[in-house]
Amino acid sequence: MRGAPDSVVSRAGRFAGVLLFWTLVGGGLVVPATMEGTPATPDAVAQEAEAAFRSAMEAWAYDEFWRLWDMGSSASRRALSQGDFTDRMRAGTTRPAAGKQVEAIRVTPQSPDLAIVYVRFGLEDRRRPWAESTDRPFFLRFEDGRWTVNLWDFVGLASYFSPDVIPAQPLLVPPPRPPRPKGPTR
């Protein structure tokens, strides 16, 4: 019949062919662009991500906040200007402890452009001689041919130790009231 709709089988065959064609063409156009410049092996991903993280910790330890901001991901740099980032880091109460910046590190590549860095590092309070070690993960992204950190991670760590609360004057507590006599009073 000339005006009859195509059979379901022939339509499915054409759809599968078109889908296969666009998958191959689209894959050829998209995959190389996202994979361009990324490290080839998980070991290379781990080594490069670790080096980037150590460099970020070093920049923080030496108060090179301009350098640390430059290592930030594009999303965190858009959300946090360099001046605001520097002000927040300088106002922080914490910095990496001398000699204990990175005590232990393990990098787990999740994909060619995402790595989780599990790290144990020392932090010291800028106001008093107090240091402690902490464990935490960091997510590093591969953007524009380099590994980047999330700047908000460092802003949060800069205020790791809570500020001291020292009242200016001692708190005055009024003396208790004398007990009231029971019964009728005249």
CB atoms within 10 A of CB 19: 10
Question: How many domains does the structure of the chain reveal?
Answer: 1
In a domain, 180, yes or no: no
**Of residues 156, 98, 163, 82, the one with CA closest to residue 131:** 98
- pLDDT value, residue 158: 87
Do the domain assignments include residue 10?
no
d(CA 104, CA 117) in angstroms, rounded, equals: 10
pTM tops 0.95: no
Q: 103, 120 in Cβ contact below 8 A?
A: yes
Predicted confidence (pLDDT) per residue in 3-48, tens digit:
444 444 444 344 344 333 333 334 333 333 334 555 568 888 999 9
C-alpha 155 chain-centroid distance: 10
Q: Which helix (H) or strand (E) holds 96?
A: strand 94-96
Place of tokens 């590190």: 105
Q: Which domain holds residue 115?
A: 42-158
pLDDT tens digits, residue range 76-124? 999 999 999 999 999 988 888 877 778 899 999 999 899 999 999 988 8
Q: Would you say residue 6 lies in a domain? A: no
**Residue 69 in domain:** yes
* Cα–Cα dist 5/33, whole Å: 41
9 belongs to a structural domain: no
In a domain, 31, yes or no: no
Let me know if residue 173 belongs to a domain: no
> Tokens at residue 20, please?
């296969």
Q: pLDDT by residue (tens digit) across 42-82?
A: 888 999 999 999 999 999 999 999 999 999 999 999 999 99
Q: Would 140 be classed as within a structural domain?
A: yes
What are the phi and psi torsion angles at 158 (to 5°)? -65, -20
CATH code of residue 148: 3.10.450.100
- CA-to-CA distance for 110 and 61, rounded, in angstroms? 28
